[in-house]
């Protein structure tokens, strides 16, 4: 390998470490989330719930879709239900199954978080052209494969 390529690989590795550190900081900020806001894991969970066929999923399927543990999802759903963001309904056919759906308030909060996130997303990547964005997506896909293989 050339020295330039080695330097580029090291720069990529350094930036990945920075990205992971930023993700840890995000989780830390979420721990002190202001009242009424959605933490990033809650946001991910609600996005998956909104995408579900019929807008409804049991906790186990929601956990798999959001890539979170079932106990974590159950705890989050209990908190979100207490805030009026989700509605939890026990199945008539199988009392062990609890279906979850967004309330109107949940849809409102999700739409607000989506809008806020979209503005920041577009701002941060405004200087990149299509090819640069596609190259970034390809790098992220390779990193995902790397992590899956570890």
Residue 62: give its domain's CATH number: 1.10.10.10
Whether residue 148 has pLDDT greater than 60: yes
pLDDT digits (tens, 9 = 90+) for 41-79: 889 899 999 999 998 999 999 999 888 899 999 999 999
Query: Which residue segment(s) compose the domain that 44 sits in?
Result: 36-149
Its pTM stands at 0.77
pLDDT of residue 30: 67
Domain identity same for 4 and 69: no
Stronger pLDDT, 93 or 5, i.e. the higher one: 5
Measured distance CA(90)–CA(99) in Å, rounded: 6
Domain identity same for 48 and 14: no
Q: Which pLDDT band, with edges at 50, 70 and 90, does 7 fall under? A: very high
């Amino acid at each position: 390998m050339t020295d330039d390529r080695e330097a580029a690989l090291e720069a990529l590795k350094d930036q990945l470490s920075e990205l992971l550190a930023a993700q840890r900081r995000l989780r830390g900020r979420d721990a002190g989330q202001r009242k009424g806001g959605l933490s990033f894991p809650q946001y991910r969970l609600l996005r998956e719930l909104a995408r579900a066929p019929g807008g409804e999923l049991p906790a186990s399927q929601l956990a798999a879709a959001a890539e979170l543990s079932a106990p974590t999802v159950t705890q989050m759903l209990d908190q979100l239900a207490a805030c009026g963001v989700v509605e939890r309904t026990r199945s008539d056919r199988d009392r062990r199954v609890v279906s979850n759906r967004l309330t109107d308030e949940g849809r409102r909060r999700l739409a607000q978080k989506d809008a806020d996130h979209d503005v920041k997303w577009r701002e941060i990547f405004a200087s990149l052209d299509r090819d640069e964005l596609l190259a970034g997506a390809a790098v992220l896909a390779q990193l995902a494969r790397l992590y899956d293989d570890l």
